[in-house]
Structure 1
Amino acid sequence: MLAEVISTVFSPMALLINLLGVVLGIIFGAMPGLNGVVGVALLLPLTYGLSPSLGLIMLSGLYMGATYGGSISAILLNCPGTGEAACTALNGSPLARQGRAKEALSYSVLASGFGGVFGVVIMMLFTPFLSQAALKFGPPELFLVCLGGLAVVGSLMGKSFSKGFISVAIGLLLSIVGMDAVSANYRFTFDNVNLQAGFDLIPVSVGLFAIAEMLNLICNQGDNSVISEKNRPFPVLEGIRGVAKRWKLVIKSSIIGTIIGILPGTGGAIASFISYGEAKRTSKEASQFGKGAIDGIVAPESANNAAVGGSFVPLLALGIPGSATSAIIFGALTVHGMIPGPKLFSEHADVVYSLMLGLLISTILMVVIGLLATPAFSKVLSVDIKLIIPAVLAFSIFGAYSARNSLFDVLVAVVFGLIGLVFKRFQIPVAPAVLGMILGSMAEKNLRRSLTIAAAKNSNIVSYILFRPISLVILVLLVLLIYGNFKTALRSKNEE
């Protein structure tokens, strides 16, 4: 079987399809509003005429490429193409404005490559064991994981604690708009049918980041280019040495990303925020976070690509998608007559291992393409603003519409673009709002499930959530994370 898998993955057709998937993924990820979910959904029909192995290789390559691609627009334009790249923009954009775009892009792709390889290798070696471990995370544990994600707000709030908390509160408020998943009642919809399904993350984040940034450029057109400093050269070997020097941070972030990716319903965005907060807590350049810290790029990029491999673990072993993109890949498997779960390895082992090995090749292709294209990407910074602004706005509107094929989402993106501009004027950080929106609904659902189960067991809700083996471990880590982040934030504030 091994020889068959190798011959399939390394065949000219498979390599070409893999390359196509990675390139399309990078493009989808780099365009504000478009992401791996949209890309995989659009390409899914194209796989019907391919063999199962080739179809899955293309879709998984697109998934990996899109996860990295979001960092390109995050660094160059301060417009994260995906939710996973929101943290990358915090330090990537300042570096680009200092003329160090090539450096930021190189660190991004190298860290993404290492994280991607780490996640895939863990997936290949430990899928059965890790899938069983993931089942031990019930609603109480997932609720505490969400609190851990919210705890990193201390590393994202910038110079003002109060403004950071205002931002995360707005994000939490946005997360509860729409139909209550438990009681089916509508909340904060104001009798508007378009709000019954709640706010989608894509149009909101596109508005807060991409459209707000373009409006800000329109209001400050003193220059004809995005930056005034000349883009400095940056050798690839220097980037490799820089990532190798940060090997502890890369491995730690990759482990966080893989673990978060394995937990169903989480994903790369949460992994990025948690790894970013942990990096700031322990980094020697913590005071530079938000101003152009390399650690602030390496940590989230390692984590979000490691989460790709992690998200396949519950999908393949249990039939439970670990992310929205892997949920669509679940559909691709069923279209080809394969039901994800324990029998998948015994009945279609050749397809499963072709997918795994193909994803490893996808990661290598992603790094090669990213490094070769870095000089071309960085030239975006020398383009006239008058050309950049309409192009980004057009992609933003298209990306917002494609989320649910709704013109209302376009309106949402525009409104939040104006809100994002107000945030910039009053120096309110945007990232905590995105974090609050991502984690708010997930935290609420798991808390309410915990309440229901505790009531059915006649158990006290506090003891039910806290006095569980995994919960106690998460709780200790949560306390240490909150303490470390606020200590770092206070130290940075005192240094300014």
Structure 2
Amino acid sequence: MILSALQSLFSLHLLPAVLLGVSLGFVAGIVPGIGGRIGLLLALPLALLFDPVGGAVFLIALHAVVHTSGSITPIAYGLPTSASEAATALDGFQLQRQGKGAEALGASLSASSVGGVLGALVFMAAAPVVRPIVGSLGAPEFLVLSLLGLALVSSLSDRQPSAGLAVAALGVLASTVGIDALTAQARFTFGRLELWDGLDTIAVVGGLFVIPEMLALAGGKDDKRLPATIAELPRMLSGMAEAFRHKMIMLRSTVIGIIVGIMPGAGSSIAVWIAYADASARNKGDVPFGEGAIAGVVAPEAANNAKEGGALIPTIFLGIPGSSSMAILLGGFAMLGLDVGPTMLTTQLPTAMTFAWTVILANLLTIPLFLLVVPHLVRFTGLRPKAIAAFALVAVVTAALGTATDVFDPLQFAAGGVLGVALYLAGLPRAPFLLGFVMGPMVENSLSKTMQVFGPEAILRPGVLILGAALLVVLWRLRRPQEGVATATKRSREVAFIVLGAMALLGLCAIADAGHFTASSKIAPIASALILIGASLFTVLRIRREPPAPAPSMSLPMGLAFALLVAAAPLLGLMPASMGFLLLARKTFAERWTWMPAVLIAVGLFQVLMVEGLIGTPLRFGVFGTGLFR
């Protein structure tokens, strides 16, 4: 079966998915501000080009190589492209300043490849171990396991853990919009047929993450051009060999990455810093960590990629994403109509093995791509970090609204953007919303089965008692903020009061509207609304006594221009609205007006390819058509 899965990966309908995923993932890792999470969001529409398995392979291949290429800018330019790449920059950029940047890049490639391949092999080997465990679990255990995953993510949220619980509950509440699959009850649709299928994942999640990240990038103070560097191929190969002189550090970091990846809520940043600290404590080399030690590059890069193999175990086999990136991946699977969970251990085990081979093949394909591209890539002066913001905003609007057919799609996108900006300015976590939104149907389905089949006796099952005890421990941690973590300045604290108050009010409105639902249809909305209200009010009481922290900033001019883009797209069409937005935001990426025609032509071709060529949406006319033209 394993060999058959590998053979199927080289078929004509899966190999192009792997190649496209590797190419786009390589680019997403290089570009500051994109990375794995936003790269996945922007690529979701492209997954529709393939069948369900092909689309999943494309997304997995993309995410598998993001961290490998993500080491380029931290080493060559000292600019981490994401939080998980920050540890690589400590020693990598010091090596670059010492004239050893090529060796550091080669070492990062070896460590990333080894970590990624071993992580995938562990995922493959986990199937026979996980199968009997999952086979013994019923709906009650899956219910508590789902709640434990949400609680873990909330407890590990920055600043206020209780705020993470409130945002997760809001995500679960949002997932109940539409027709209840078990009772056919319309919930929170307000009589609109457009909401019967629920909220659009790309529109809501794209607005929630991409918009605030890009507006923050555009509003950042540091906008210096990055220094050029040189990476010669022989020296990169020497660095690849040098990494294997630290094989024990590489293996330990790989194990750390896999273990942390399996834990729901523990992101790659945690794995990276644990691996870096472990390697630093065991360092016996002449060069201290932080001053240009090759082992300081090997450890975080091995853990970074190995974590993805570990994270696939709960995501694929249990349907429980362990991070926001895995939640986006799970949302992409749902969009493709691909069911993950226990069936991946039985009837769909060959598909799961195909996913494991995808990670391995993607990491191997990245090696020649890295060696071929990087020596030429790093010769050029880097982009200003702000320059990418305008283009990423146009890309996410194209992805979210390219298939829109009515006014509700732009409204969902705008609502997701408003929520994301509000949470960002309030200093509240956004990842728990995504996990709640993706896991909401699983929580509700398990809850309904537990009540109908097992009843109150479900609480006495051994698995429920064990998992329930772990859940109580995690919930106990939510009662207080993390020690030593600052919360907000006076301004963002006031914003937090407003946002949390609005969330509590939304919960009250949801309870009132759920009053006319059928008995079984109202349980999940009311339960999530009650948790939302309680956690929001509890957080309001807690943050009044917390120490200050730097206030987040965003670009107000870019925000206003983007608001005009979202408002104009349904009226004018994507292309005219995007051209107007780029003209308004020109100063962030173009120094001369002579560059603008080439920029506008390139963006126009991209939108034609995306909307008319790839997504297959025909030209539409009418007030609320959001094709290329009105």
Could you tell me the TM-score, scaled by structure 2's length?
0.51
SS in 2 for 1:379: coil
Instruction: Provide closer, same or farther for how the CA distance between residues 399 and 32 of structure 1 changes in structure 2, counting only shifts above 3 A.
Output: farther
Which residue of 2 is the match for residue 115 of structure 1? Answer: 115
How many residues matched?
383
Which residue of 1 is the match for residue 248 of structure 2? Answer: 248
Are residues 1:450 and 2:473 paired? yes
Q: Which amino acid aligns with 2:227?
A: V
Matches within 5 A, 1:398-409: 406=417
Which residue of 1 is the match for residue 459 of structure 2? Answer: none
Separation in 2 of the partners of 1:452 and 1:284?
41
The percent of aligned pairs where both chains have the same amino acid is 28
Bigger helix share: 1
Which residue of 2 is the match for residue 155 of structure 1? Answer: none
Give the Å deviation of 1:102.
1.7
Give the Å deviation of 1:69.
2.4
Instruction: Provide closer, same or farther for how the CA distance between residues 365 and 182 of structure 1 changes in structure 2, counting only shifts above 3 A.
Output: closer
Give the Å deviation of 1:28.
0.9
- Does the 8 Å CA contact 1:67/1:82 hold for their aligned counterparts? no
Q: Which amino acid aligns with 1:301?
A: E
Which residue of 1 is the match for residue 79 of structure 2? Answer: 79
Q: Which amino acid aligns with 2:275?
A: S
SS in 2 for 1:320: coil
Give the Å deviation of 1:53.
2.5
Are residues 1:61 and 2:84 paired? no
Are residues 1:309 and 2:309 paired? yes
- Does the 8 Å CA contact 1:207/1:412 hold for their aligned counterparts? no
Which residue of 1 is the match for residue 227 of structure 2? Answer: 226
Instruction: Provide closer, same or farther for how the CA distance between residues 407 and 72 of structure 1 changes in structure 2, counting only shifts above 3 A.
Output: farther
SS in 1 for 2:346: helix
* 1:129-153 CA distance string (max 9 Å, x none): 36959x9999999999999x9xxxx
Matches within 5 A, 1:25-174: 25-127=25-127, 129=129, 173=159
Instruction: Provide closer, same or farther for how the CA distance between residues 182 and 269 of structure 1 changes in structure 2, counting only shifts above 3 A.
Output: closer
Instruction: Provide closer, same or farther for how the CA distance between residues 230 and 313 of structure 1 changes in structure 2, counting only shifts above 3 A.
Output: closer
Which residue of 2 is the match for residue 160 of structure 1? Answer: none
Separation in 1 of the partners of 2:120 and 2:390?
34
- Does the 8 Å CA contact 2:53/2:338 hold for their aligned counterparts? no
Q: Which amino acid aligns with 2:295?
A: D
Give the Å deviation of 1:176.
8.0
Q: Which amino acid aligns with 2:387?
A: A
Matches within 5 A, 1:465-476: none
Give the Å deviation of 1:128.
5.0
Matches within 5 A, 1:57-456: 57-127=57-127, 129=129, 173=159, 180=166, 214-215=222-223, 217=224, 226=227, 234-285=234-285, 288-380=288-380, 383=381, 388-389=383-384, 392-396=385-389, 406=417, 450=473
- Does the 8 Å CA contact 2:52/2:338 hold for their aligned counterparts? no
Separation in 2 of the partners of 1:144 and 1:410?
24
Instruction: Provide closer, same or farther for how the CA distance between residues 20 and 437 of structure 1 changes in structure 2, counting only shifts above 3 A.
Output: closer
Instruction: Provide closer, same or farther for how the CA distance between residues 230 and 333 of structure 1 changes in structure 2, counting only shifts above 3 A.
Output: closer
Separation in 1 of the partners of 2:419 and 2:286?
40
Give the Å deviation of 1:348.
1.6
Give the Å deviation of 1:41.
2.3
Instruction: Provide closer, same or farther for how the CA distance between residues 411 and 52 of structure 1 changes in structure 2, counting only shifts above 3 A.
Output: closer
Instruction: Provide closer, same or farther for how the CA distance between residues 182 and 437 of structure 1 changes in structure 2, counting only shifts above 3 A.
Output: closer
Could you tell me the TM-score, scaled by structure 1's length?
0.64
Give the Å deviation of 1:45.
2.8
- Answer with 1 or 2: which has the greater Rg: 2
- Does the 8 Å CA contact 2:151/2:471 hold for their aligned counterparts? no
Separation in 2 of the partners of 1:265 and 1:128?
24
* 1:317-353 CA distance string (max 9 Å, x none): 2111122222222233334444322222222223222
Instruction: Provide closer, same or farther for how the CA distance between residues 264 and 412 of structure 1 changes in structure 2, counting only shifts above 3 A.
Output: closer
Instruction: Provide closer, same or farther for how the CA distance between residues 247 and 50 of structure 1 changes in structure 2, counting only shifts above 3 A.
Output: same
Separation in 2 of the partners of 1:240 and 1:173?
39
Which residue of 1 is the match for residue 454 of structure 2? Answer: none
Unmatched runs of 5 consecutive residues or more in structure 1: 150-170, 185-196, 219-224, 416-432, 456-496
- Does the 8 Å CA contact 1:30/1:80 hold for their aligned counterparts? no
Instruction: Provide closer, same or farther for how the CA distance between residues 210 and 99 of structure 1 changes in structure 2, counting only shifts above 3 A.
Output: farther
Instruction: Provide closer, same or farther for how the CA distance between residues 144 and 38 of structure 1 changes in structure 2, counting only shifts above 3 A.
Output: closer
Instruction: Provide closer, same or farther for how the CA distance between residues 52 and 141 of structure 1 changes in structure 2, counting only shifts above 3 A.
Output: closer
Unmatched runs of 5 consecutive residues or more in structure 2: 135-140, 171-204, 398-412, 436-468, 479-630
Separation in 2 of the partners of 1:28 and 1:334?
23
- Does the 8 Å CA contact 1:32/1:399 hold for their aligned counterparts? no
Instruction: Provide closer, same or farther for how the CA distance between residues 334 and 454 of structure 1 changes in structure 2, counting only shifts above 3 A.
Output: closer
Instruction: Provide closer, same or farther for how the CA distance between residues 178 and 98 of structure 1 changes in structure 2, counting only shifts above 3 A.
Output: same
- Does the 8 Å CA contact 1:104/1:297 hold for their aligned counterparts? yes
Which residue of 2 is the match for residue 152 of structure 1? Answer: none
Greater shift after overlay, 39-48 or 206-215? 206-215
Separation in 2 of the partners of 1:290 and 1:177?
34
Instruction: Provide closer, same or farther for how the CA distance between residues 374 and 310 of structure 1 changes in structure 2, counting only shifts above 3 A.
Output: same
Separation in 2 of the partners of 1:274 and 1:139?
26
Separation in 1 of the partners of 2:235 and 2:96?
16
Instruction: Provide closer, same or farther for how the CA distance between residues 79 and 141 of structure 1 changes in structure 2, counting only shifts above 3 A.
Output: same
Separation in 2 of the partners of 1:52 and 1:260?
29
Give the Å deviation of 1:366.
1.5
Instruction: Provide closer, same or farther for how the CA distance between residues 52 and 99 of structure 1 changes in structure 2, counting only shifts above 3 A.
Output: same
Give the Å deviation of 1:67.
2.1
Separation in 2 of the partners of 1:333 and 1:271?
25
Give the Å deviation of 1:104.
1.8
Q: Which amino acid aligns with 2:126?
A: F
Instruction: Provide closer, same or farther for how the CA distance between residues 75 and 137 of structure 1 changes in structure 2, counting only shifts above 3 A.
Output: farther
Instruction: Provide closer, same or farther for how the CA distance between residues 213 and 20 of structure 1 changes in structure 2, counting only shifts above 3 A.
Output: farther
Give the Å deviation of 1:373.
1.7
SS in 1 for 2:386: helix
SS in 2 for 1:284: coil
Give the Å deviation of 1:59.
0.7
- Does the 8 Å CA contact 1:400/1:409 hold for their aligned counterparts? no
- Does the 8 Å CA contact 1:106/1:374 hold for their aligned counterparts? no
Separation in 1 of the partners of 2:422 and 2:79?
18
- Does the 8 Å CA contact 1:128/1:317 hold for their aligned counterparts? no
Q: Which amino acid aligns with 1:226?
A: P
Give the Å deviation of 1:360.
1.1
- Does the 8 Å CA contact 1:33/1:202 hold for their aligned counterparts? no
- Does the 8 Å CA contact 1:267/1:311 hold for their aligned counterparts? no
Separation in 2 of the partners of 1:206 and 1:286?
41
Q: Which amino acid aligns with 1:394?
A: A
Which residue of 1 is the match for residue 17 of structure 2? Answer: 17
SS in 2 for 1:273: helix
Instruction: Provide closer, same or farther for how the CA distance between residues 207 and 258 of structure 1 changes in structure 2, counting only shifts above 3 A.
Output: farther
Q: Which amino acid aligns with 1:450?
A: V
* 1:64-107 CA distance string (max 9 Å, x none): 11122221222222222222211111122222223322222111
Which of structures 1 and 2 has the larger relative contact order (alpha carbons within 8 angstroms, sep 6+)?
Answer: 1
* 1:346-401 CA distance string (max 9 Å, x none): 22223222111122111111222112222113213xx3x7xx43xx3211565689
Q: Which amino acid aligns with 1:241?
A: A
